[in-house]
A and B are shown apart, each in its own frame.
Chain A
Amino acid sequence: MNGTMPVDLLALFGHFLLLSLLSIGGAITVAPDMHRVMVNQMGLLTDAQFNASIAIAQASPGPNVLFVAVMGYQAAGLAGAAATLFGIMLPSTTLALAAARWGHARRDWRAVQAFKAGMAPIVIGLLFATGWILSAQTSGWHHVPLTVAAALLVWRTRVHLLLLVAAGAVIGAMGWI
């Protein structure tokens, strides 16, 4: 890399293109490699900036993958955000579209139906696993009743989801969990 160029956006973009194809389960699954490249190798972010990127995206509305844009933004402004976000989205999006069309055109095939039927319980198991892992990120157990209450309310009632999030924010801000 030459020293006159502050950030090698092309290298960043290229690396995120590659990570996109490995990000089964979401972009967060390849976060360790983003850390390796952006913090250790290219020196674009500090550890604190890296962790804050994930926290900010989780607290912000919208898909969590936006943490990738926050990292790019902290590293190199809007151009950096564009490089990382387009990089992480382009390959997976193209693949998802092609696969969905392939499967939909062959939805009567026994193999396609077997895929849908076989994967259904696994997909639902993954939702419970995600809830568990998110909950375990917070240390201690004071937040667990809140998590369980939110799960039961989502399951059994039609309470507005924003109301639940707001209640969580208030309870947390009061220092009760």
Chain B
Amino acid sequence: MTDDPRLLAQPSSSKELFVAFTLLALQGFGGVLAVAQRVLCEQKRWLTREQFVEILAVAQVLPGPNVCNVALMVGDRFFGWRGAFAALAGMMALPLVIVLMLTALYVQYATNPAVSGALRGMGAVAAGMIAGTGLKLVAALRSNPMPAPVCGAFLVLTFVAVALLRWPLVWVILALGLVACAYAWVRLRPETATPGQP
């Protein structure tokens, strides 16, 4: 894993993007985000954790499946619209075939207790994997212009509003997001934004 953008690698072609996103998607049971973070930041080193969080922020705020938006933006960053299409196609093509085949199978085995138990176990792990990815990405907040306690407060407030109070996501993002971005904007005043420079 690297947090230094200068140490990053690059995919060699749209084809490599397609293959990488296909393999990544095939490992993602119950959600691909945990796998995407690990593959893109740690194995391929195409993105730093900070860049991943930035891309994820845009992906979360916009409509559409988050991981698909991430694939699109990562692909676009390296190879323009060809890369975007390759990454998104990789993410969806083979998993689509598999899920349609599973649909045919599921009808026969849905009532089998071992099958429903296995699904429950996989669901429990998937929930843990996404929370574990969150724990890992907390480190990316170190370089945030907002002080750590403020970052922590926004993080906790978001969790409470969405997970515990079950408020609609759109309003939580709008309200908390506006306050957080406005505060970050103040913190990024030109004289404090680049302290080390002449």
A119 lies within 8 A of B124 (CB)? no
Cα of A145 to Cα of B124 in the assembled complex, Å = 9
Q: Hey, which chain B residues are within 8 Å of A3, CB to CB? A: none
A24 is an interface residue with CB less than 8 A from chain B: yes
Q: Which of A118-170 contact B (CB under 8 A)?
A: 118-135, 137-138, 143-144, 146-155, 158, 161-162, 164-165, 167-170
Query: How many Å from the CB of B176 to the closest CB on chain A?
Result: 6
A63 lies within 8 A of B103 (CB)? no
Main secondary structure of the interface of B (DSSP, over half): helix
Query: How many Å from the CB of B42 to the closest CB on chain A?
Result: 8
Q: Hey, which chain B residues are within 8 Å of A124, CB to CB? A: 53, 134, 137-138, 140-141, 155
Cα of A163 to Cα of B182 in the assembled complex, Å = 42
A6 is an interface residue with CB less than 8 A from chain B: no
Cα of A64 to Cα of B170 in the assembled complex, Å = 20
B60 lies within 8 A of A58 (CB)? no
A65 lies within 8 A of B128 (CB)? no
A73 lies within 8 A of B103 (CB)? yes
Q: Which of A92-114 contact B (CB under 8 A)?
A: 92-93, 95-97, 99-101, 103-104, 110-111, 113-114
Q: Which of B42, B55, B114, B162 has the most CB atoms of chain A within a 10 A radius of its CB?
A: B162
B120 lies within 8 A of A143 (CB)? yes
Q: Hey, which chain A residues are within 8 Å of B40, CB to CB? A: none
B57 lies within 8 A of A116 (CB)? yes
Query: How many Å from the CB of B168 to the closest CB on chain A?
Result: 8
A29 is an interface residue with CB less than 8 A from chain B: yes
A2 is an interface residue with CB less than 8 A from chain B: no
Contacts A62-B99, A95-B62, A117-B187 given: A123-B129 contact, CB under 8 Å? no
Chain B, residue nearest A60 (CB): B99
A172 is an interface residue with CB less than 8 A from chain B: yes
Query: How many Å from the CB of A129 to the closest CB on chain B?
Result: 4
| Interface residues of B, Cβ cutoff 8 Å to A | 25-35, 38, 42, 53-69, 72-73, 76-77, 81, 84, 88, 91-92, 94-96, 98-100, 102-103, 106, 110, 113-115, 117-138, 140-141, 144-146, 151-152, 154-159, 162-164, 169-170, 173, 176-177, 179-185, 187-188, 190, 193
Inter-chain pairs besides A63-B95, A126-B158, A173-B117, 15 sampled, C-beta below 8 Å: A53-B103, A62-B99, A64-B65, A66-B99, A92-B68, A99-B62, A100-B72, A100-B76, A113-B193, A122-B154, A127-B130, A146-B125, A147-B128, A152-B128, A154-B135
